[in-house]
A and B are shown apart, each in its own frame.
Chain A
């Protein structure tokens, strides 16, 4: 009997600090520093990196998503050390990632003007095609909760505007969010 691999749902903050492991040698070559993603599709485009040392200095090299075999719960796997790219060789969207374009701390507001909360984390579905599938909110009308990233009206450096019908879709844990995402997928197909 074969076991079907189900990509895990992980919080962005749990991905930060994960070792980047060279699958060919088993060595950890770096640590995840920042997550860079395309908000229009949710797809991860790459990572900035930190050195694996006591001082954890920033690495100049970047990790484009093309070099990633899989994002797991305990490591980000790459085929070999060549997956790390110098900034000059990295794809433009990773190279040009602007630290000020961090979405954490953004207010999440509905189209009718209700403030649902503050965006405190993103939810990533891991595996070989990792993407952001939801956001974690805190401190607003809905309290602490997770919402699926199925539609939004706009995103600026300070706010994320979402449809009014997102409010009832807030879930308290990753299991609930997974069920909500499955519902959305079913509705879509």
Chain B
């Protein structure tokens, strides 16, 4: 019984750790940021 509880606790901890890693990686950027968000008109290249 005790072993089962320990195994479950370890599994839960591993799941929490995996979730934290996933969230951190998802927040790890990937933005395309412009220097001038309000852009004047641009004509041609």
Contacts and interface: CB of A to CB of B under 8 A. Distances in A.
A101 B37 contact: yes
Contacts of A143: none
A39 interface: yes
Contacts of B37: 98, 100-101, 155-157
Given A33-B29, A56-B28, A122-B32, A154 B45 contact: no
A56 B30 contact: no
Contacts of A55: 21, 24
Contacts of B38: 155-157
Contact of A56 (B24, B31, B40, B45): B24
Q: How large is the interface on A (under 10, 10 to 19, 20 to 34, 35 or more residues)?
A: 35 or more
Q: How large is the interface on B (under 10, 10 to 19, 20 to 34, 35 or more residues)?
A: 20 to 34
A33 B28 contact: yes
Interface in B27-44: 28-44
Interface in A8-36: 12-13, 16-17, 32-36
Contacts, number: 104
Interface string A76-104: 00000000000000000100111111111
B34 A38 contact: yes
7 shortest interchain CB distances as A-B pairs: A33-B29, A155-B39, A102-B31, A101-B37, A34-B31, A34-B29, A39-B34
A34 B28 CA distance: 9
B31 A50 contact: no
A108 to B, nearest CB: 13
B43 A13 contact: no
